[in-house]
Every structure is written in structure tokens, then in C-alpha cells.
Structure 1
Amino acid sequence: MARIDISVCIPAYEMEGYGSDYLEFSFRKLEAQDFQNFEVVVSDQSADSRIRDLCDDWSDRLNIFHVWNREAPRQASANINHALNQANGEILKILFQDDYLFDCTCLTNVQKRFIETGCDWLLCGSGIVREGEAIERAMIPSLSDRLHFGKNTVSSPSVLAIHRRCLERFDENLVWLMDVEFYKRLWDAKGEPEILPSTMVANRIHKHQVSSRVDRKLQARELDYMWRKYAAKSTVSGKFEFLKRRMKTIWST
């Protein structure tokens, strides 16, 4: 097999019938990248075949590797882990199916920074998209000691890329805090990430996304889990963040 520089790893599912539409839009943006040596790994938890059929339709335009993942828990952490574990590239670029690469130089810049620095992980700038392609609220990722308790100053996992020597994977006990916990763990294990500040990823805001179905009980459960896992490693500021967010789950019930 020829060397693959980057694997774009996409966890996919029906998303109430919109999953294939969002994914095809993302494929168009991937096709427009000025970087060519990449594969697209789609880990599919759909009950139907629309995602697989879409991958087949695009197989002559992109190097797509579709893999079923129907037996694993139906959640993003398990599905993205499956995609990461199937990837062949030196750099593993996460991209959720409803997000897309906003900048056509994204993959070029990601690979260049990995080569220049020898880093283990990298974060790039992002913004949100509601309708159309107008970016709102551009965000440059940063890390803080309150991150793992839900103060997300990084953005979605779509801004993340890791080197394949990074064996860390998402904690499958988590749904709401799966991203910030992973950033915290990478930070502890690998040190500071490289940051590409330009807006390269568009995070789509819509009513079908998982975050729209996160209730207070789930928040409380995951905050308690994070407390058990990280209280001893947390600063006073981090502990106050936990208490503030945990109290909100009580007041709102």
C-alpha cells in the first residue's frame, strides 16, 4: 500500500435523515482541498444504506474507505474511535459528518505544521455556520484548567488532528464531555498542542445534532464522572468550574 499522509476520520449515522446530505457537502469541500494524498475513513452506524451508497458514489472522486460499525454503542465517542483505529495515514484528522473544512488549504497546513514541529497533536481555528456558508464567531483554540469540566475553549473535535503514534482514544463513557476530556488527556500526556489560528473548520449548528439532546441528567452524570476521574489533578479554578456547572444541573431540575 502506498503511503497515506492524512486520514480524514468521519463518524457517521442517519442524523434523522440529514446525515447523507451533510456528509455529501463535506465531501465536496474535501474534493476542493489543494492537498491530495489523503484518505477518507467513514465509520457508519446507520441502520440504512444511504451513507454507504453515498461513499460508493464518491469513490471515483475521493479515496473513501467505508466501514460499518453497527455493533458498537450508538454514540460519537465509540464511532470516532472506530474510524481512528481503521485509518492508515500518518496524521489522523477528525471531521464530524455535519462539519466541513472551510479552508481549501486546511490539510496542506495541517501536514506542514506536523512536519515542521514533529508535534503529536494540533488544533485549528473554527467558526459556526447556521445557514449557508457565512462563518460566525470565529474561534482560536486555547487550553485552560477549566476545560475538562465543560469550559470548552477549543471547539468541536473537528478542529483536532493527532499523529498516528498517539494511541489515546475518546472515553466511551462520555457523550457531552467526550471532546473536552480528550483534550485534557492529550494535554496531560503530550503537552501543548500546535495551534493553527486561521478559521479552517466550519461547525454546523442545527436541530439534529447530538448536543441539542443533552439533558441535565446526562450533564450531572458526566460531571460527576469527570470529578471522580480528575478532581485530584484539577486546580482550584477547575474545581470551581465543576461546582458552578454541577449546581446548574440541580437548579434546572
Structure 2
Amino acid sequence: MSTAPAISICIPAYDMGGAGGEYLGYSLERLTRQGFTDFEVVVSDQSDGSGVAETCAAYADRLTIRRVAYTEGKRQASANSNNAMRHANGRILKILFQDDFLCDDSALQQVFDAFQEPGCKWALMGSAVTRDCETLERPMVPRWHDRIRWGFNTISSPSVLALEARHDLWFDENLQWLMDGDMYQSCHQAFGDPVILPDTLVANRIHEGQVSAGVSRKLRRQEVVYTARKGGLTRAKGDLRAFLYQYLKALG
């Protein structure tokens, strides 16, 4: 009988204008350097081309990696991330977008150690941004606050998220721009405050093809209204103000 890995690295992948295989390859290469090795990689692939599949095959002898073709779902990150999580076997789920990477070789060890502590159900990792995969800029220690669902993101991308596998929490597939804040809000409601790993462990790659660069004002308005209808406007300090700010900003 096979033993479930401690951690599943859940990677939603797609063509990314032809660069998907290259970005994924760099991320997988960095995973081979991790000191902690009890993990699997699950790649949910929404590509139309073969780049992602070829990259996964190239690392099959160096990583425990499983590619799952996923062309029937919504072509967006929230649905693709959910599919990766559904196919994961690990006791801890670690989200990692294909153009991001773990920039510290102790990252998975730190994640594993955090979940050994009683009460740890979800954890957030320190991050930075990079343009060249070498220079790390704007280091960021995740900070929770009650306006996170409105897009005031003091946590960073979903690549900093790890959570216990035995849960019923999923990215909302009606969201793209606010998918991360909504997920953080759901985790907080279910589990309470996150464990914060303050070291810079994740590098978020900045490039022209990233999804956030193409978010329209119309989409922002739609998602702000959807978020208000989904969770209501609470009595938390600044909640109404946050909604109005983001909605009016999206009007231009």
C-alpha cells in the first residue's frame, strides 16, 4: 500500500502564450533543490499545446509528478487550482502558480514543520517579486485583515498558501481578480488566524502575460458586486468603505 506524501504541490498550468512550459520548467527545477523531499507535484493542465506536458515528462525521473489534463473546466485559475487540489494525495496542499517558484530551499521544510504544531490548519509564506528570477524585490510578510476579500491584498498571490488537505474549501470559480482574497477569507472563517512563515520563500514572477495585468474595469466591478452579494456587507470597520472604494475605482 502506497503512503500518501506529506505535501502536494498543486500547480494550475496553461499555455501562457507559449511560455507555460518554460515557466513551469523553472519552477520544477527549483523544486528539485528542496531539502524536504516527501512531496508530490500535481499539474492541472489546461494547455492546448504540448509544452506543459513535455516539461512534466522531462522531470518525471527527478520528481514525483502527475499531470492531469483538464480541458473541460472553466479556463481560469480558480477552476484549474481546484482541479489540482482534487487530484492531490498529500496531507498538506501547497498552491504554486506555474510562473512562480519557491526561492528558498528550506521552504517545504518550513511548511511541513508549521503543520506539525497543534492547531495549524493553514499557513502563509513570505514572498517577493522578481523580473529576472534572480533579483527579489519588494519582500512582503503576509498580514491578515478584515478587508482582504475586497482586493486590499496584504498577503500576496495564492502561491503563498498552504492548507490542510481534509477540508471543503475551494477557490470560487466565479472569481478571477478576487479569487485569492476570497479564499483567504474562507480559510479565516473556517480555521481562524493563519500561521505566518515570515521568511521570503516564494517568488512571484512579473511578466507581460500574467493574468492580473489583463483584468478589465468591467470584470473588477462585476467581482466587487458579486463579493458583496456573496458575503454581504458586514459591520466590520471599513467594510462598506472598502466596497465603495473598489467599485468606484473600477468605474474609472
TM-score category (smaller protein): over 0.9
Q: Which position in structure 1 is the counterpart of 2:24?
A: 23
Residue 165 of structure 2 corresponds to residue 164 of structure 1? yes
Counterpart secondary structure, 1:117: coil
> TM-score scaled by structure 1?
0.97
Counterpart secondary structure, 1:189: helix
Deviations 1:39-98 (A, max 9, x none): 000000001121111111110011001000100010000000000000000000000000
Q: Which position in structure 1 is the counterpart of 2:15?
A: 14
Give the unaligned 5+ runs of structure 2: none
Distance 2:85 2:133 in 1: 30
Distance 2:197 2:103 in 1: 13
After superposition, where does 1:228-247 map in structure 2 within 5 Å? Answer: 228-233=229-234, 235-247=236-248
The amino acid that maps onto 1:49 is S
Q: Which position in structure 1 is the counterpart of 2:87?
A: 86
The amino acid that maps onto 2:14 is Y
After superposition, where does 1:31-110 map in structure 2 within 5 Å? Answer: 31-110=32-111
Distance 1:203 1:24 in 2: 15
Q: Which position in structure 2 is the counterpart of 1:5?
A: 6
Distance 1:123 1:195 in 2: 5
Per-residue deviation at 1:235?
1.6
Q: 1:234 to 1:159 in 2, by over 3 A?
A: farther
After superposition, where does 1:80-229 map in structure 2 within 5 Å? Answer: 80-229=81-230
Counterpart secondary structure, 2:61: coil
Counterpart secondary structure, 1:26: helix
Structure 1 consecutive aligned stretches of length 4 or more whose deviation exceeds 6 Å: none
Counterpart secondary structure, 1:225: helix
Counterpart secondary structure, 2:8: strand
Counterpart secondary structure, 1:136: strand
Count of residue correspondences: 251
Counterpart secondary structure, 1:79: helix
Q: 1:27 to 1:249 in 2, by over 3 A?
A: same
